Amino acid sequence: MKLSIFSDESFMKEALKEAQKAFEKNEVPIGAVIVSNNKIIARAHNLCETLNDATAHAEMQAITSASNFLGSKYLNECTLYVTLEPCTMCASAIAWSQIGKIVYGADDDKKGFTKISKNLLHPKTEVVSGVLEKDCSEILINFFRKKRV
């Protein structure tokens, strides 16, 4: 079966490309893209080490980029694809930006927002989890395995 170029899996593959860029920069490999009308309007990956900024998560970078692209702080017509479940900081930013839909790959059992409260998001935000979960988990596992050697 051929994947649609507008499927959740297809856009998650683009987020994985961003995660790979982070991996190559020795950043925690999390990638994100934001889509509006089936078009990627923002691409980002973690830049915490590069920018020496604990808030420079992939989601935060993508939200800023998408807001600048659209000229609006609200992203209610957009979908965020991110390789790892957002943390509470990112979930709060997602809520403030009113993103219409979040699609994430791997669960974050330590710091994921769903471990605290699913109510952190805007009430209208749709959440889809587990898209390309194996691929999204694998890049993180490989990164931290490499760190421990």
CB distance 78 to 100 below 8 Å: yes
Residue 32 tokens, joined: 């994100």
Tell me how far the alpha carbon of residue 141 is from its chain's centroid.
17
Rounded-to-integer distance, Cα 22 and Cα 129, Å: 22
The torsion of the CA quartet 23, 149, 136, 41, rounded to 10 degrees, works out to: -10
Which residues are part of the catalytic machinery? 59
| Stretch (H or E) spanning 81 | strand 78-84
